[in-house]
Structure formats: structure tokens, C-alpha cells
């Protein structure tokens, strides 16, 4: 059955993206440290990406994963929490809800546009006490020992220098402070990512697959354990978590999901028939992951918890 009419309706958001894209925008905005990947590939992303991310991806799965990460952190009143590579601030907002006025939450991201969006969403949620700071994982803008907890959702795999980023996390933690981070498992354990990766790869070539392979590039628990131990973390605990990606309309979700990707302009430029064909391929592959409530696809990730060692640690870069 052809899906062209509903696909076209669902893809109206990408029409907004075409208007938002600037010819001078060689790299656009992507959350969780993707800027380096964007520079390498020359991809673009619409400036309206944060809104689409919050509208589609957060309720479908990232919001649930954020709540899960904060729950596992077991935050206590008075704690100082950093979210690294905060993007639109999903995890920061969840931490802010838990701590209320009895704690401090700071979100750090390298992208000013993301930080502006994060601040807007936080204020709208009544969480205007959250602080936002521009910076990246290689040089976290905070003094040593400034935080009790560092949270990082789906960011570590994108950092160009993972060991250095983890050393920076350890540096800004107080001795005994804890880090909790999440990374996706392999593509075959995340059907939505796998289906979209394959479809875009067939349509646009290997460069379209890069972001998906990067997303799932840190799926080996032994590698994770070694990275954290090398940065001086103790008590490393790796937990396999599975959650469902859910949305009442798979077609509408795909429209919004694809609109945050660097190739949104190319997708929007397809004629109705080619775009329908692209969507048909994804929808067919995700057929087994639908129920009466719409999209129902499992997503698997490792959630890693560890403590900064209590002995004296070297500063990053010394």
C-alpha cells in the first residue's frame, strides 16, 4: 500500500526546515558532540532541529532514557549535578525536577543554539534555576571538584578524545563523586536506528550512514570498562537497559525524526514519489515493531555508573 499522501502530510515539518536552512550554513547544529562529525562529513542540520527534537524524539524515547539515567543516579538534596553534552537539556530538566531548590544543576554544551533552546525549555518547565554554560568535553568550564554527579546521555561515543573527556569528568568531580553515562548498543539492537540507517544509506550513500554508526560505536562493555578505569574511576558498574521507542504515528514520527538530521534538506528536496519510497522502505522494515498504539520498537543501551577515585588525581593535560 502506498503511503504518499500521509507521508507528505507528515513531512510538512521538513518544509519548515528548508526555509530555515541557510546556504552559508556549512555545518549546522547537532546535539551531544556531533559537531566534529558534521565538520568531517559536510552535513547540515536545520536550525529548527531543537524544536523537532523536543517534539518528536524526546517523547518517543530520549525523555524516558533521561528519567532512567536520573533515577539510577539516585540524586540527593544539596547535590551539584553536571550534564555534559546537554543538548536541549532533557537530562538537566529531569535532574532539576528531582533536586528542586535543594540542589544545583548545570548543563554544558559546545553549541550556543542548543544552549539557548535548553534555557527556553527549562524556563517553560519552571526550572529557570538550571545553569547553562558553553564548553565541550575536552575543557569543561568548571573548577576541579565542582560537582557531586556528572551525567552524560548518549554523548561519550561522539567525543573525539574519549579518554580525555572522561579525565575531565573525573577532574570536575569531587573525590568519591559519581558519573553516570549511557551509550547505545550495536545497531542491530536498536531497530529504529538500523532501519533509518539502511534506508538513508541506500538512497544517499555511505555518508548518510555515518551518524548512525557513530551513535552505536561504543557498544563493547569491555571497552567502556577500560576507558573509565583508565580515567581513574572505581566501582565501575555496567547495566544493560532496554526501553521501548513509542509514538502513535510511525509516519509522523519519521518526519520529525528525520528533520533533525544533517540531510534534512536533501530529504525535503526529494519529489513526493521518491520521498514516499524512502518512507515506505523504513516503514516496511519497522513493520514488526508496531502495535495498536503505533511504533513500539525496543532500544538497548548500556548505562555505566562509576565513582571518581578518592586518591589524588592528575589534572587533565598535566
Q: Which of 32-41, 51-60, 65-74 shows the lowest per-residue confidence on average (mean pLDDT)?
A: 32-41
Flag whether pLDDT at 270 surpasses 60.
Answer: yes
Residue 315 lies in a domain: no
Q: Is 293 helix (H, G, I), strand (E, B) or coil?
A: coil
Contact 45, 259 (CB under 8 A): no
Question: pLDDT tens digits, residue range 186-203?
Answer: 999 999 999 999 999 999
pLDDT confidence tier of residue 302, bands split at 50, 70 and 90:
very high
Looking at residue 215, its pLDDT comes to 94
- Mean of the pLDDT values across residues 216-229? 98
Residue 206 lies in a domain: yes
> Angle at CA 48, nearest 5°, toward 272 and 244?
80
| pTM for the predicted model, two decimal places | 0.84
Residues in contact with 83: Cβ distance below 8 Å, sequence separation at least 6, in sequence order: 89, 91, 92, 95, 105, 106, 107, 108, 150, 151, 152, 153
The grid coordinates listed for 6 are 500521509
Q: Which residue has the cell 524524539?
A: 57
Q: How far apart are CA 56 and CA 308, in angstroms?
A: 35
pLDDT confidence tier of residue 48, bands split at 50, 70 and 90:
low
DSSP designation for 56: I
**Number of structural domains in the chain:** 1
Residue 318 lies in a domain: no
Report the CATH number that the domain containing residue 256 is assigned in CATH: 3.40.50.150
Contact 304, 224 (CB under 8 A): yes
Question: pLDDT tens digits, residue range 6-28?
Answer: 444 434 444 443 333 333 233 23
Residue 210 lies in a domain: yes
Looking at residue 108, its pLDDT comes to 98
pLDDT confidence tier of residue 311, bands split at 50, 70 and 90:
low
Residue 26 lies in a domain: yes
Question: pLDDT tens digits, residue range 108-134?
Answer: 999 999 999 999 999 999 999 999 999
Residue 314 lies in a domain: no
Tell me which residue range forms the domain holding 208.
Answer: 4-308
The grid coordinates listed for 89 are 537539556
Residue 316 lies in a domain: no
Flag whether pLDDT at 79 surpasses 60.
Answer: yes
Residue 223 lies in a domain: yes
Q: How far apart are CA 102 and CA 104, in angstroms?
A: 7
Amino acid at each position: 500500500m502506498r503511503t504518499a499522501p500521509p507521508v507528505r502530510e507528515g513531512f510538512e515539518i521538513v518544509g519548515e526546515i528548508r526555509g530555515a536552512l541557510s546556504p552559508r550554513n556549512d555545518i549546522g547544529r547537532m546535539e551531544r558532540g556531533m559537531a566534529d562529525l558534521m565538520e568531517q562529513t559536510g552535513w547540515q542540520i536545520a536550525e529548527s532541529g531543537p524544536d523537532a527534537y523536543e517534539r518528536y524524539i524526546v517523547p518517543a524515547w530520549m525523555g524516558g532514557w533521561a528519567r532512567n539515567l536520573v533515577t539510577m543516579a539516585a540524586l540527593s538534596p544539596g547535590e551539584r549535578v553536571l550534564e555534559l553534552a546537554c543538548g536541549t537539556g532533557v537530562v538537566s530538566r529531569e535532574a532539576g525536577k528531582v533536586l528542586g531548590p535543594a540542589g544545583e544543576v548545570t548543563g554544558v554544551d559546545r553549541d550556543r543554539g542548543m544552549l539557548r533552546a535548553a534555557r527556553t525549555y527549562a524556563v517553560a518547565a519552571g526550572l529557570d534555576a538550571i545553569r547553562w554554560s558553553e564548553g565541550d568535553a575536552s575543557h569543561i568550564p568548571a573548577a576541579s571538584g565542582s560537582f557531586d554527579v556528572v551525567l552524560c546521555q548518549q554523548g561519550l561515543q561522539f567525543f573525539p578524545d574519549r579518554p580525555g573527556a572522561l579525565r575531565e569528568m573525573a577532574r570536575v568531580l569531587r573525590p568519591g563523586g559519581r558519573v553516570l553515562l549511557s551509550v547505545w548498543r550495536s545497531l542491530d539492537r536498536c531497530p529504529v536506528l538500523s532501519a533509518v540507517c539502511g534506508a538513508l544509506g541506500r538512497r544517499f550513500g555511505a555518508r548518510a550512514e555515518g551518524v548512525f554508526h557513530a551513535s552505536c560505536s561504543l557498544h563493547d562493555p569491555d571497552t567502556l570498562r577500560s576507558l573509565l578505569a583508565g580515567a581513574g574511576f572505581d566501582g565501575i558498574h555496567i547495566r544493560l537497559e532496554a526501553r521501548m521507542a513509542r509514538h502513535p504515528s510511525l509516519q509522523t514520527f519519521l518526519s520529525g525524526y528525520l528533520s533533525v538530521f544533517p540531510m534534512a534538506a536533501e530529504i525535503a528536496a526529494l519529489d513526493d514519489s521518491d520521498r514516499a519510497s524512502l518512507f515506505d522502505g523504513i516503514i516496511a522494515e519497522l513493520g514488526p515493531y508496531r502495535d495498536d498504539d503505533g511504533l513500539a520498537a525496543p532500544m538497548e543501551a548500556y548505562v555505566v555508573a562509576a565513582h571518581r577515585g578518592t586518591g589524588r588525581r592528575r589534572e587533565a593535560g598535566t
